[in-house]
Amino acid sequence: MAMTQEFSPAEFGAAWHKFIEFVNSQAPPPEPPPPPLTDRVAAFLGGDPSQMAIVKESFPERDLPNIQIAFDRFLTGLDRSAEQIGYLTEHDHPGFNLSTILTRRQWMAIGEGPVQYRSVELANGERMQCMERGLYLIRDGDTRLAVLIHATEGFYGGQGVTVEILCPWSERAEAVLAEIRGLAHTHNVYRGHLLTLSGGDSIQFRELPTIEREAIILPPSLLQNIERNTLGFIAQAERLRAARRHMKRGLLFHGLPGTGKTLTVMYLLSQMKGRTVILLTGRIMGLITQACQLARALAPSAVVLEDVDLIAQERESESTTGPLLFELLNEMDGLSEDTDVLFLLSSNRPDLLEPALAARPGRIDQAIEFPLPDADCRRRLLELYGKGLALRVDDMDDMVRRTEGASSAFIRELLRKAALIAADQTPGSADAPLVADSHLREALQAIVYEGGQLTQKLLGVAPGALQNFR
């Protein structure tokens, strides 16, 4: 559109300039930039931070939720309140601390930013949001404190949580830190749960199915002895402690594979209500030291090491597991006798165990052998694993005789294979498989002959057994 002579470009520019000036005059004045974080903390504390005391403590990375709970509970105290602020830094590093924040060097100035949280998994699938980087500005009556929470995860291999408290009076800072430490211990989220350790310092919560006592098929006297040395000891712990009996105990369950060691351990654990249990298996056996430290901190507790012969072989052997053996022995020796920690160890090869582990008092208090099931136990096992099936066995005595020398695991597999054979003979049926004598005999023959010696060994069959079962 052509510009008219009544409104020249110069006039338009002048009018636009006046319009912009008018708009700017109506806008509120810009707020001054926020003070540096150093000045913010100093103003809150009411003094020069460089003249105040800083107390510091480092916690394992796994204690992040415990620290969060400790501060949450601390701040519920009478006449206590807090403001949370975050910080921004261009160059983070493991040595970051309150002194870094309070420095007045321009190139290290730390600005305010959002508080950083980490979502941590708890028991029963619950989660907790935990401050992993931020500050509390705490009013505790007439006292003011600045608290730094700084988690370092993966920095040059370092992991942990640092808590620093800045206060005009070092005695008060020490007292607050001690209170936080006590609250974190008292309300530890791991206490009373079944735990496993993984790489680094992380902990996973585990759940085991409830195992009823009727599912443990052992000679009655043997089961009573096991319960007396575990559940009975726990039930009488206070009386025994008052009588100055040592509380640290070590039990070794040994026997052929499939004789019920693992199932019995699971049954015992399901009955240990309120006791922290640390389970070590497979690769995580390398975390023995961490597990024992955790067991000591969360006592009363139990440490379970299955297949301990994998790490506790004779020193003279060519095994590379020596360092783990020394860790285990040192940790068991390092616990004082009044520490209520129960070690439950299991082994299929007790002959390979290091004599120092099995023979020295204070490490293993009792070794308990799990035998192959006798005739009465084999009958009970056939009935137990036959539940859910239409079991129509005319001559149970004959099957009890045929399975002499077989383990509990073998009999369980026998019933599973017999059910499969019976189901194959009635395709299309929705009913429970009807298992008769013929199915059991066919299943027995399939395991013994088709599976070979290796299958029998894996299922815990006694050497030379089941060779003349017909």
Query: Where along the chain do its domains lie?
Result: 37-189, 213-369, 375-458
- Decide if 180 contacts 71 (C-beta within 8 A): yes
Residue 465 Cα to chain centre, angstroms: 41
Closest CA to 378 of 419, 398, 408: 408
Tens digits of per-residue pLDDT, 345-371?
Answer: 998 888 777 676 666 666 788 889 999
Strands (E), 181-306: 194-197, 203-206, 249-254, 276-280, 301-305
- Decide if 458 contacts 257 (C-beta within 8 A): yes
Provide DSSP, 303-322.
Answer: EEETTGGGT-B-TTS--S-H
Where residue 456 falls among pLDDT bands split at 50, 70, 90?
confident
Tens digits of per-residue pLDDT, 306-323?
Answer: 888 777 665 555 554 456
- Taking 60 as the threshold, does the pLDDT of residue 337 lie above it? yes
Res 320: pLDDT: 47
Q: Where are the alpha helices (DSSP H) in 228-260?
A: 233-235, 237-242
Mean pLDDT of all residues in the chain?
84
Closest CA to 297 of 346, 351, 356, 339: 339
> Half-sphere exposure of residue 238, counting CA atoms within 13 Å on the CB side?
1
Residue 146: in which H helix or E strand, if any? strand 143-155
- Decide if 251 contacts 366 (C-beta within 8 A): yes
Cα separation, 468 vs 462, in Å, equals 13
Tens digits of per-residue pLDDT, 240-252?
Answer: 888 888 888 889 9
Name the residue with higher pLDDT: 296 or 202: 296
Long-range contacts of the stretch 85-88 (C-beta < 8 A, 24+): 85/37, 85/40, 85/112, 85/115, 85/134, 85/135, 85/137, 86/112, 86/113, 86/114, 86/115, 86/116, 86/133, 86/134, 86/135, 87/37, 87/111, 87/112, 87/113, 87/133, 87/134, 87/135, 88/112, 88/113
Tens digits of per-residue pLDDT, 33-86?
Answer: 556 788 888 899 988 888 888 999 999 889 999 999 999 999 999 899 999 999
Res 372: pLDDT: 94
- Taking 90 as the threshold, does the pLDDT of residue 302 lie above it? yes
10-29 residues labelled b (16+ CB within 10 A) or e (exposed): eeeeeeeeeeeeeeeeeeee
Res 350: pLDDT: 81
- The mean per-residue pLDDT over the stretch 86-113 comes to 73
Name the residue with higher pLDDT: 204 or 5: 204
- CA quadruple 67, 73, 79, 81: dihedral, nearest 10: 50
- Decide if 394 contacts 437 (C-beta within 8 A): yes
- Taking 70 as the threshold, does the pLDDT of residue 283 lie above it? no
Largest CA distance in the chain: 122
* 84: Cβ contacts below 8 Å, ≥ 6 apart: 115, 131, 134, 135, 136, 137
Summary count for the chain: helices (H), strands (E): 17, 16
- The mean per-residue pLDDT over the stretch 441-463 comes to 80
Other Cβ atoms closer than 10 A to 289:
14
- CA quadruple 311, 312, 314, 319: dihedral, nearest 10: 0
Res 114: pLDDT: 92
Two structure tokens written together for 287: 């975390």
Res 358: pLDDT: 63
Residue 128: in which H helix or E strand, if any? strand 127-140
Domain made up of 375-458: CATH architecture: Orthogonal Bundle (1.10)
- The mean per-residue pLDDT over the stretch 370-396 comes to 93
Tens digits of per-residue pLDDT, 133-152?
Answer: 999 999 999 999 999 999 88
- The mean per-residue pLDDT over the stretch 404-413 comes to 92
- Give the type of residue at 265: V
* 126: Cβ contacts below 8 Å, ≥ 6 apart: none
Write down the CATH superfamily of domain 213-369. Answer: P-loop containing nucleotide triphosphate hydrolases (3.40.50.300)
- The mean per-residue pLDDT over the stretch 376-394 comes to 93
Cα separation, 382 vs 361, in Å, equals 39
DSSP-derived letter for residue 231 is I
- The mean per-residue pLDDT over the stretch 449-460 comes to 76
- Decide if 187 contacts 66 (C-beta within 8 A): yes
Closest CA to 373 of 413, 346, 410: 410
**pTM exceeds cut of 0.85:** no
Res 230: pLDDT: 94
Highest mean pLDDT among 21-35, 180-194, 279-293: 180-194
* 343: Cβ contacts below 8 Å, ≥ 6 apart: 248, 249, 250, 251, 302, 303, 305, 332, 364
Res 243: pLDDT: 86
Two structure tokens written together for 171: 């005695």
- Give the type of residue at 405: G
Res 275: pLDDT: 94
- Decide if 160 contacts 151 (C-beta within 8 A): yes
Res 109: pLDDT: 64
Res 308: pLDDT: 83
Closest CA to 420 of 436, 439, 406: 439
Q: Which of 98-112, 260-274, 399-413 has the lowest mean pLDDT?
A: 98-112
Other Cβ atoms closer than 10 A to 275:
21
